[in-house]
């Protein structure tokens, strides 16, 4: 054996790329109902064995939890950035409307909202993470509305918590409607009307 030849390694080589598997699983979950996508299907799409997937993620629940973490980092973080941007009431609402009606990634819906809607079909780790993200989103919406009220931009008598719930559910409904085939223009029209309650004098 020459010096340039690689030295033999002991044990089974690690051939699975966890990042790639997460991307494959996230795409599969996002384009379908997460609970309808089997581990076998993900293994086949990713070209890996089921034992190697379980070694990396522990269980199907561990995989779906990791996928949700990745989705939160790559997609949901953009919504949180909008809410924390300090742009003011009108510009922030406009940015949220743009995200829900025009973002091409939302054509098949929002993976988080799909997981939330089918939470009873998920494992305990993933369910707990769904609840955690949902609570963080509600807190971010409420903080945004309280800031708008403090700035004199929102004078509605509704509590910030109730307004946050309404705002979050309207965004969720709009994205769900996009996934069912409603046109982005119609989504924008309906969402603009729904969120006009925050800008009425």
Domain ranges in the chain are 18-198
For range 92-109, the mean pLDDT: 94
Residues of the chain above pLDDT 90, percent: 81
10 Å Cβ neighbour count for 123? 15
Reported as a single tens digit per residue, the pLDDT across 29-57 is 998 888 889 999 999 999 999 999 999 99
13: pLDDT confidence band, cut at 50, 70 and 90?
very low
Between CA 197 and CA 201 the distance in angstroms is 9
For residue 124, pLDDT over 80 is answered with yes
For range 13-27, the mean pLDDT: 84
Between CA 26 and CA 18 the distance in angstroms is 12
Between CA 33 and CA 30 the distance in angstroms is 7
10 Å Cβ neighbour count for 47? 12
State the pTM of this model.
0.85
Select from 113, 90, 79, 106 the least CA-distant residue to 192.
Answer: 90
Regarding the domain with residue range 18-198, which homologous superfamily does it belong to in the CATH classification? Tetracycline Repressor, domain 2 (1.10.357.10)
Residue 67 CA, distance from chain mean position? 10
**Residues 136-174, buried b or exposed e (16+ Cβ, 10 A)?**
ebeebbbebbbbbbeeeebeeeeebeebbebbbebbbbb
For range 148-172, the mean pLDDT: 92
pLDDT at 56: 94
For residue 8, pLDDT over 90 is answered with no
Q: What angle do CA 154, 198, 137 make, to 5 degrees?
A: 95
For range 103-115, the mean pLDDT: 92
91: pLDDT confidence band, cut at 50, 70 and 90?
very high
- Positive or negative, the CA dihedral 62, 49, 112, 74 is positive
Q: Any idea which of 15-19, 124-128, 146-150 has the lowest mean pLDDT?
A: 15-19
- Please enumerate in sequence order all residues whose Cβ is within 8 A of that of 129, keeping only pairs 6 or more positions apart, or say none: 65, 68, 69
pLDDT at 99: 94
58: pLDDT confidence band, cut at 50, 70 and 90?
very high
């Amino acid at each position: 054996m020459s010096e340039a030849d690689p030295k033999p390694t002991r044990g089974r080589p690690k051939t699975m790329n966890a990042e790639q598997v997460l991307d494959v699983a996230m795409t599969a979950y996002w384009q379908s109902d997460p609970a309808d996508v089997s581990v076998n299907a993900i293994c086949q799409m990713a070209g890996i064995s089921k034992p190697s997937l379980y070694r990396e993620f522990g269980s199907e629940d561990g995989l779906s939890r990791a996928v949700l973490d990745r989705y939160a980092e790559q997609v949901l973080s953009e919504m949180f950035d909008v809410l924390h941007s300090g742009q003011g009431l009108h510009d922030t609402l406009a940015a949220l409307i743009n995200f829900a009606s025009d973002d091409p990634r939302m054509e098949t819906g929002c993976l988080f909202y799909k997981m939330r809607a089918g939470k009873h079909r998920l494992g305990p780790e993933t369910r707990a993470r769904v609840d955690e993200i949902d609570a963080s989103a509600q807190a971010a919406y409420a903080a945004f509305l309280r800031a708008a009220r403090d700035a004199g931009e929102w004078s509605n008598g509704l509590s910030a918590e109730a307004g946050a719930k309404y705002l979050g559910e309207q965004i969720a409904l709009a994205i769900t409607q996009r996934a069912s085939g409603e046109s982005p223009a119609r989504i924008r029209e309906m969402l603009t009307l729904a969120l006009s309650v925050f800008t009425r004098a």
